[in-house]
Amino acid sequence: MAHEVHAHMEVHHEPKSFWTKYIFSQDAKIIGIQYLITAFVMGFIALVLSWLMRLQLGFPGKTFLWLEKLLPNAAQGGVLNQDFYLAAVTMHGTIMIFFFITAAGTGGFANYLIPLQIGARDMAFPFVNMLSYSGTFSRRFVPLCSLRPSSCLAVLRGAVGRCIRPSAARRKP
């Protein structure tokens, strides 16, 4: 008789919208996929920075007019200026270590695979897990603003640039 009671109990979940299912999800697998997508987007940004550095190293002194159109303040005359080049080197390394490798490993694969490996339905605190991913945009946006010389966050740009790059710390604002 106990089996009959459990057989008739069905769990009905309320329908979820796109926002609650994919953007503000508390499902560990969805959060893991979000971390992986964000990590690969940041990896692409780091790849573009490495292309700019290699272009400058491969063809020293050559002017690229398209580069001046793409980065008007950082590539005046079609050549990357020293400050932007140093910022690109620093941000490339920072993005690759902290925003790509660490985010993909701990955020992406851990959220996706650990519940599957231990046989759990979800992580211990799904709301905190969701908040952790929600904060990743601000943690990635502020350092990226230090690359743009004419940023609206000029105060943060100076603070982040001086904390990350020692060459910027020696100069006065």
Domain locations in the chain?
29-170
Angstrom distance (rounded) from CA 20 to CA 123: 17
Q: Find out whether 132 and 106 touch, Cβ atoms under 8 Å.
A: no
State residue 54's pLDDT score: 93
Q: Tell me the pLDDT tens digit for each residue of 124-142.
A: 788 888 888 888 877 877 7
State residue 36's pLDDT score: 92
Angstrom distance (rounded) from CA 158 to CA 99: 21
State residue 3's pLDDT score: 56
State residue 168's pLDDT score: 54
Angstrom distance (rounded) from CA 81 to CA 73: 9
Give 148's contacts (C-beta < 8 A, 6+ positions apart). Answer: 73, 157
pTM of the model: 0.73
The length of the chain is: 173
Q: Tell how far CA 16 is from the center of its chain.
A: 26
State residue 127's pLDDT score: 87
pLDDT means per 10 residues, the chain with 173 residues, are 55 72 83 90 93 90 87 84 85 89 87 85 82 82 69 46 54 55
State residue 156's pLDDT score: 45
What is the helix (H) or strand (E) element at residue 162, kind and residue range? helix 154-164
State residue 155's pLDDT score: 44
**3-class secondary structure, 8:** helix
State residue 106's pLDDT score: 86
